[in-house]
Amino acid sequence: MKILIVYTHPNPASFNHAILEAVESTLKGSGHDIRVKDLYQTGFKNVLDGGDFTQIMGGTIPDDIKEEHEDILWAEGLVFIYPVWWIDRPAQLKGWIDRTMLQGFAFDYSPEGMPTGLLKHQKAMVITTTGGPEEFYDQAQMKDMIRRPMCDGTLGFCGIQDVAYKAFFAVPHVTDDVRKGMLEEAKELTRTTFAG
């Protein structure tokens, strides 16, 4: 399968980078054709601004967005790897979504005003990490707040219903052994999500 990995973390020594390496090597080992988009390395402009609106409303897609669209359309599967920042995606990733997942490209509305997803990817996988422990998220009833915006609000809305999701909790506070176990889990999820 052709798989686009969208990776968002500014620190190459981060645990998220270790997840990226684990996922990338697993996908390559299974024979998939992959492209990695490192959103801090590419420095993709992360603000949908007035200039973008003027161009898009005038029927022109800005060139940097067109390049992203080519990669998104090339892929049959999508992978997102990012840390939870303020109970959401880092602004760099959120801005990538704001600017690329445009009406007419990623979704549209029916004449009755109902949204319809336009993306045809077979599968997506989302792996995220938190600083807070799972018990905190359970007690505060906030677990779904970190899953749904990406899995349902973005990917589901754009037509991708088959989304594998994993949150690794309390990453900075657990032992190295636990983190190693998390990387093994990430590999296993990658294998099962993109098997066959």
Ligand X SMILES: Cc1cc2nc3c(=O)[nH]c(=O)nc-3n(C[C@H](O)[C@H](O)[C@H](O)COP(=O)(O)O)c2cc1C
**Where does this chain bind ligand X (CB under 6 A)?**
9, 14-16, 83-87, 129-132, 171-172
- Return the number of the residue (105 or 169) whose C-beta is nearest ligand X: 169
Q: Which long-range contacts (CB under 8 A, 24 or more apart) does 92-97 make?
A: 92/8, 92/10, 92/39, 92/40, 92/44, 92/46, 93/6, 93/8, 93/39, 94/46, 95/44, 95/45, 95/46, 95/47, 95/48, 96/6, 96/8, 96/39, 96/44, 96/46, 96/68, 97/154
Residue nearest to ligand X (CB): 131
- Return the number of the residue (107 or 136) whose C-beta is nearest ligand X: 136
Q: How far is the CB of 72 from ligand X (least distance, A)?
A: 24
Q: How far is the CB of 116 from ligand X (least distance, A)?
A: 32
- Return the number of the residue (130 or 193) whose C-beta is nearest ligand X: 130
Token pair, residue 140, equals 């505060």
74 in helix, strand or coil?
A: helix
Q: How far is the CB of 147 from ligand X (least distance, A)?
A: 13
Q: How far is the CB of 157 from ligand X (least distance, A)?
A: 22
Q: CA-CA distance, 116 to 104, in Å (whole number)?
A: 10
Query: CA separation (Å) from 125 to 77, 110, 131, 164?
Result: 8, 28, 21, 5
- Return the number of the residue (13 or 57) whose C-beta is nearest ligand X: 13
Q: How far is the CB of 44 from ligand X (least distance, A)?
A: 19
- Return the number of the residue (134 or 152) whose C-beta is nearest ligand X: 134
Q: For 42-52, b where at least 16 C-beta lie within 10 A, e where not — what string?
A: eebbbebeeeb
- Return the number of the residue (15 or 105) whose C-beta is nearest ligand X: 15
Q: How far is the CB of 196 from ligand X (least distance, A)?
A: 30
